[in-house]
Structure 1
Amino acid sequence: MKDSALFTRLLSYLRPYWKIATLALVSLIIATVAELFIPVLLQSAIDEDLYPQYDALTVPSERNAEDILRKIENAGRTSQQKMYNLGSHILIPRKDVELLAGWGDFSLAPDLSDGDQILRQVIPITLSEETEEIIELYGLQTIGTVSDNRGILLEALESLPEEAVTLLRRQDHINLRSKVFLLLGLLVINLLFTFGQVYFTAKSGQYVMKDLRIQLFSHVTKQRLGALQTIPVGTLVSRVTNDVETINELFTSVLTSLLKDISLMVGVVTTLLLMDRELGLITIATLPPVLVLTLLFRRKARSAYRNVRHWVSEVTRFLSEHIAGMSVIHAFVQEQWARSIFNKKNNSLLGANLSEMYVFSVFRPSVDFLSTLSTGASIFFGALLFLNGMVSLGILVAFVNLVGRFYQPVMDMSEKFTILQSALSGGERVFSFLDQKDEIQDSGTPINPSGIAGAIRFENVCFSYKPDEPVLKNLSFSVSPGQRIAVVGHTGAGKTTIANLMTRMWDIDSGTIWLDGVPLQNYQLSSLRRAIQPIQQDISLFNDTIRNNLLLGNTVDDATLWNILETVQAKDFIERLPHGLDTVLSEGATNLSTGQRQLLAFGRILVQDPRVIILDEATANIDSETELRIQQALNSLLQNRTSILIAHRLSTIKDADHILVLAKGSIAEEGTHESLLNQKGLYSNLYKLQFKE
């Protein structure tokens, strides 16, 4: 039940692409019908052209025989074979005999049921001068009916030369030639529409994967930072890549084959029942062992796949974290330690894969054995029916062909079962992640950021990252538009938290944060974050050109961009790069120095043109020379903007309009640089510690 719900949810993603899915379904139906018609055509060729067989039924008189044949011809025959009158016998295809036996009001039915049934072979002929000449030359006896169908018993042709037999069976050759061309046509139709089914199914699957990846990434971007920080980066990457790829396999490999297999199996059973009910029922009777075996191994296979996906995610997570932190491993000479941990996780993945292989090493041969056993049993009973004259040779051959086509999908489904379970496990993990919604509520009103003055007020703000561990306690302060304030304090005092709360990366537990007299929750998130932007200590630059890292989707001409770079003291070093603004940064921007990366961060802020800027330890890792250049740029950067400077290095905030000193989540002191030094309190001690030299 859980699998069906998961499968239904996956298929719901096809809804926008129903036209493509419909084309795939129509192609599937046509390809299946063409494939099923091939054994039917084979049966027709054998029974009507190669080896036509009839039941010879004894009748009381020739007049009764004529009446029977006339009534059959007027009753909607089920066979296209001709019928013949032998006087004391009539030769009728078996399907027509069954039709005759079903007539309750036919007076000769009791006589027919008691009559002798003899299996005969009759070759229909077309009378012409050549055929009449051969008939007269070899003294052949022809038989006919009221419709003037003429034929010769096959046994009479055994002693004739090949040329004579070929001439007499000219119509059979013509019919066979037509059916060969029809067979080629069916094969071409099957080829074209099978290609169409695979193409359209795979195409719709690719669209589904595109939508699913977008939904996953959008889901990640909407989550609170706290929710994301509880999930390892490698696990998130595994969700969007590995797990989605397994679902892609479901659409491109499994779904394509599964639909074809199911339709073919249903079509085979239906065809068998229409061709011969007894043989169809025998085939259906051989299914239960395969179904029981499939249900028996389904749960174990699912459990094995969950385990495999878990350890794949663990290995991916470990690699992502430790490759990114390889410098730390080298610095502390912990290569052996990292290898040993990876070896343990890799061995766990190996064990999970071997457990999975064990399940299917039993399942696949078992299905193969039962399929072979069922096929053999079906052929055995079919042969008995043939020997008893209950089925024709064409039906038996077609039946063997159809049985093979029936179990071919069974084996294919057992092979695809691996991918199916993997896809369902991947889908389960993806949807489990999508169902975890821990988003910042965005129900505010859109605003134009340029209209923000920048007045900020914290009113009794309380916040904690973990329950019962408060970071801010009833924090209250105000910032006037255009004012530059600084926030200092020991590590853990809550400085960075203020920046996170102002941009609503986190939501406060209680109290209110006001922007221009309006609570932050009343602003649309995108508008708020364009109006208030932080420059963090850890700069995130992408593996892209410098231009794109600065613009982040905005449109700014190069002249303006160079002016901004000159303002933040970054123009000269960018001009020295090989490709200037089009220089591609490596992953993590390792081809730039720390100071250069932070200069680009300043430039990026000016491109966005926010009304409030938060510098969160933005100059902590910059050398003194670069710091001097930054200080020269800050006056231009912060002009006519409200700014909050969060810093450990007190030399960068001496010119701030107001300084807040935090201690244990509350304001311990506040004032200007000079007034705080004169208080000889916490700020004075911090200042003396940094400048005691």
Structure 2
Amino acid sequence: MSDGKSGSAFGTTWKRIIVYLGKGRRILWASLILSFMSTILTLIGPGKLTEITDKISEGLGGAMDIDGIAGLVIVLVAIYTAGLVLSVIENYMVATLSQRTAGRLREDLSSKINRIPLSYFDSTSTGDTLSRVTNDADRVGESTDEGLGTFISEITLLIGALVMMVYTNITMAMAAILPTVAGMLMMLLIMRKSQKYFQNQQRNLGDMNGLVEETYSGHTVIKAYNAEGRFGKRFVTVNEDLCRSAFASQFLSGMMMPLMSFIGNFGYVMVCIVGALLALDGQISIGVIVAFMIYVRLFTQPLSGMAQAFTSMQTAAAAGERVFEFLDLPEMVKDETEPFDSSKVKGEVEFRDVHFGYVPGKEIIHGFSLKVKPGQKVAIVGPTGAGKTTMVNLLMRFYEVNSGDILIDGRSIKDMSREEVHDCFSMVLQDTWLFAGTVRENVVYSKEGVTDEELTDACEAVGLHHYVETLPDKYDTVLDDVSSISVGQRQQITIARAIVQNAPLLILDEATSSIDTRTERKIQEAMDRMMENRTSFVIAHRLSTIRNADVILMMKDGNVIEQGSHEELMRAGGAYCELYNSQFDN
């Protein structure tokens, strides 16, 4: 990325952040006003200090005006106290705004995840997505406080101090301003050069989170295959990229603080020299020099603060660019359909000349057609990569078909909302999924109005009830990452969840793959009862479990090459017969 593009991205992203604040911009403007008022009070102070100094100087040669000096001191303390109170309120408002912004970003990112196509996750790591939702969103919020809040305060102080210096003595003001202008130009140049490194830093941080998530979630496999060295090398590579980009960004931005300190000290020297010459010439008093020393401090102090603010703002721009990039992703077409009552579905399903490919130009389902009668059991078999799971994804409308149509009870699923399509199905996948919650919550999940009797019946049907009764709090026992629950028991919970859901259509994707033979027989009986009078789609690798299917689809390379009952396909002696016999070949 070129420097020009980096600078453009910085400005564009911050414009979007300001717009994104929405109603919060009122808080921003209010904080700006408070900051301005606080700064004015701070700038009035040196003027009063000049008066105190002059009164003390006059008193050295005669009577000291104690009452006048005391009055000025009281006024000065009141001014600085009021400035402190306004600054505290302003900081509170900016902190509130920054956290509201981060919270709103996380809410919008969470909502966006539900609206983007699943194809996005086919090419993006989970860790990178998590990094955008957590690290990047938090960084934008924090930098709105650290960067924008500080920048507003410091720029107001800088302008106010400049005005007061020019008002007090323009010659000394020019002596202090010229070095500062040179420093600000150098600071802007550094910021322009370093922005691309902040962008690389956030991107590399996303890569690091993706690798860590992949490594820790597959830690057992890595250990089993002695792949620690391989993943260690990958970690070193990603870590080095992150360290390089972080070093470059922090080193360049870190140069701004000492540079501004040097410019500030140089400004002090210039004011001292010019002030001494003017005082010797009788053009100014000692009190003016004292006031100017404070003004110079007030003028140069914001430069260091602005340098720090620019660093935070650069980080926010890099993080914000990744956040808005995610928020700008194309979404699934919004459903605008007539209401559909899934509880009245009879279960007729039809595939009409369906064509589909995950990648444009690479079709994997070629003109598939099938009509399933209500209550039929359809088994889908075939080698890995044949398109079995793809058929289920299309049926559930996780992906849209390229051409053709899928109908439920004669109605195209395109004319149904995705939620309505999902309500038609109970689904049990080979990969189990539980969330941090009680056994009851995991089984019932999103189903409302489930009674204790229905819950118990479902768990008894899959052989889980006895295990649950041994838990400390039975069905109210909390399951989490450290719970000692086996893979088979996890699968039993997901099957019980499908029974409780009681949808008119059922999808089973090798649902008993992680269960022992004895438990499998019991679950198979429960699933047979569950499939009675219910249209079912079963993806199976163990062909002995689908011999009683009404229709068996033998798939290969996205095509249904054979279709029929078990007996019909065995008599045909084709690919299904060969596959079936191979599983029972002594």
- State the TM-score, normalized to the length of structure 2: 0.92
- In structure 1, what residue type is equivalent to 2:521? L
Distance in structure 2 (CA, Å) of the matches to 1:388 and 1:559: 100
**Residues 487-526 of structure 1: pairs in structure 2 closer than 5 A:** 487-526=380-419
Does structure 2 retain, via aligned residues, the 8 Å contact 1:458–1:514? yes
1:27 corresponds to 2:34? yes
Does structure 2 retain, via aligned residues, the 8 Å contact 1:35–1:187? yes
Going from structure 1 to structure 2, the CA distance change for 1:341 and 1:248 (only over 3 Å counts) comes to same
SS at match of 2:562: strand
For residue 469 of structure 1, what is the aligned residue in structure 2?
362
Shift of 1:537: 0.8
**Residues 59-458 of structure 1: pairs in structure 2 closer than 5 A:** 155=61, 157=62, 165=63, 169=64, 172-360=65-253, 362-439=255-332, 441-458=334-351
Instruction: Please list the CA deviations of residues 47-92 of structure 1 after superposition, one character each: whole Å capped at 9, or x if unmatched.
Output: 4x3346xxxxxxxxxxxxxxxxxxxxxxxxxxxxxxxxxxxxxxxx
Distance in structure 2 (CA, Å) of the matches to 1:510 and 1:612: 23
1:5 corresponds to 2:9? no
- In structure 2, what residue type is equivalent to 1:46? T
Distance in structure 2 (CA, Å) of the matches to 1:600 and 1:446: 32
Q: 1:50 aligns with which of 56, 59, 62?
A: 56
Going from structure 1 to structure 2, the CA distance change for 1:409 and 1:551 (only over 3 Å counts) comes to farther
Going from structure 1 to structure 2, the CA distance change for 1:386 and 1:516 (only over 3 Å counts) comes to farther
Instruction: Please list the CA deviations of residues 521-560 of structure 1 after superposition, one character each: whole Å capped at 9, or x if unmatched.
Output: 1111122212234211111212332222223344334343
For residue 75 of structure 1, what is the aligned residue in structure 2?
none
For residue 573 of structure 1, what is the aligned residue in structure 2?
467
Shift of 1:473: 0.7
Distance in structure 2 (CA, Å) of the matches to 1:375 and 1:543: 61
- In structure 2, what residue type is equivalent to 1:636? R
Which has the larger displacement, 29-38 or 627-636?
Answer: 29-38
Distance in structure 1 (CA, Å) of the matches to 2:251 and 2:56: 49
Shift of 1:282: 4.2
Distance in structure 2 (CA, Å) of the matches to 1:384 and 1:547: 85
Going from structure 1 to structure 2, the CA distance change for 1:29 and 1:437 (only over 3 Å counts) comes to same
Q: 1:560 aligns with which of 442, 448, 454?
A: 454
Instruction: Please list the CA deviations of residues 185-241 of structure 1 after superposition, one character each: whole Å capped at 9, or x if unmatched.
Output: 222222222111111111111111111112122222322222112011221122122
Distance in structure 2 (CA, Å) of the matches to 1:664 and 1:334: 32
Going from structure 1 to structure 2, the CA distance change for 1:619 and 1:39 (only over 3 Å counts) comes to same
Does structure 2 retain, via aligned residues, the 8 Å contact 1:455–1:481? yes
Going from structure 1 to structure 2, the CA distance change for 1:639 and 1:204 (only over 3 Å counts) comes to farther
Shift of 1:363: 3.7
- In structure 1, what residue type is equivalent to 2:574? G
Distance in structure 1 (CA, Å) of the matches to 2:424 and 2:168: 76
Distance in structure 2 (CA, Å) of the matches to 1:274 and 1:453: 86
Q: 1:536 aligns with which of 429, 433, 448?
A: 429
Does structure 1 retain, via aligned residues, the 8 Å contact 2:98–2:144? yes
Distance in structure 2 (CA, Å) of the matches to 1:590 and 1:487: 34
SS at match of 2:485: coil
- In structure 1, what residue type is equivalent to 2:457? N
SS at match of 1:470: coil
SS at match of 1:307: helix
SS at match of 2:434: coil
Shift of 1:377: 1.5
SS at match of 2:363: strand
Shift of 1:267: 1.3
Going from structure 1 to structure 2, the CA distance change for 1:642 and 1:209 (only over 3 Å counts) comes to same
After TM superposition, the runs of 4+ consecutive aligned structure 1 residues lying more than 6 A away are none
Stretches of structure 2 lacking an aligned partner (at least 5 in a row): 1-7
Instruction: Please list the CA deviations of residues 292-329 of structure 1 after superposition, one character each: whole Å capped at 9, or x if unmatched.
Output: 20122112221222333233222222221111111111
Distance in structure 1 (CA, Å) of the matches to 2:233 and 2:394: 41
Q: 1:585 aligns with which of 475, 479, 500?
A: 479
Does structure 2 retain, via aligned residues, the 8 Å contact 1:454–1:642? yes
For residue 377 of structure 2, what is the aligned residue in structure 1?
484
Does structure 2 retain, via aligned residues, the 8 Å contact 1:444–1:525? no
Instruction: Please list the CA deviations of residues 492-545 of structure 1 after superposition, one character each: whole Å capped at 9, or x if unmatched.
Output: 221111110011111111111112222211111122212234211111212332
Going from structure 1 to structure 2, the CA distance change for 1:265 and 1:666 (only over 3 Å counts) comes to same
SS at match of 1:264: helix
Shift of 1:481: 2.4
Does structure 2 retain, via aligned residues, the 8 Å contact 1:595–1:626? no
Does structure 1 retain, via aligned residues, the 8 Å contact 2:461–2:523? no
SS at match of 1:577: coil
Going from structure 1 to structure 2, the CA distance change for 1:29 and 1:367 (only over 3 Å counts) comes to closer
Does structure 1 retain, via aligned residues, the 8 Å contact 2:260–2:300? no
SS at match of 1:423: helix
Which has the larger displacement, 25-34 or 496-505?
Answer: 25-34
Going from structure 1 to structure 2, the CA distance change for 1:38 and 1:446 (only over 3 Å counts) comes to farther
Instruction: Please list the CA deviations of residues 119-148 of structure 1 after superposition, one character each: whole Å capped at 9, or x if unmatched.
Output: xxxx7xxxxxxxxxxxxxxxxxxxxxxxxx
Does structure 2 retain, via aligned residues, the 8 Å contact 1:569–1:633? no
- In structure 2, what residue type is equivalent to 1:592? I
Distance in structure 1 (CA, Å) of the matches to 2:253 and 2:83: 32
Larger Rg: 1
Distance in structure 1 (CA, Å) of the matches to 2:289 and 2:434: 72
Shift of 1:264: 0.8
Shift of 1:357: 4.3
Distance in structure 1 (CA, Å) of the matches to 2:310 and 2:249: 12
Shift of 1:278: 4.0
- In structure 1, what residue type is equivalent to 2:351? F
SS at match of 1:620: coil
- In structure 2, what residue type is equivalent to 1:220? I
- In structure 2, what residue type is equivalent to 1:567? A
Shift of 1:346: 2.4
Does structure 2 retain, via aligned residues, the 8 Å contact 1:440–1:507? no
- In structure 2, what residue type is equivalent to 1:351? R
Does structure 1 retain, via aligned residues, the 8 Å contact 2:355–2:365? yes
**Residues 593-612 of structure 1: pairs in structure 2 closer than 5 A:** 593-612=486-505
SS at match of 1:618: coil
- State the TM-score, normalized to the length of structure 1: 0.79
Distance in structure 2 (CA, Å) of the matches to 1:443 and 1:280: 66
1:675 corresponds to 2:568? yes
Distance in structure 1 (CA, Å) of the matches to 2:584 and 2:322: 54
Which has the larger displacement, 483-492 or 268-277?
Answer: 268-277
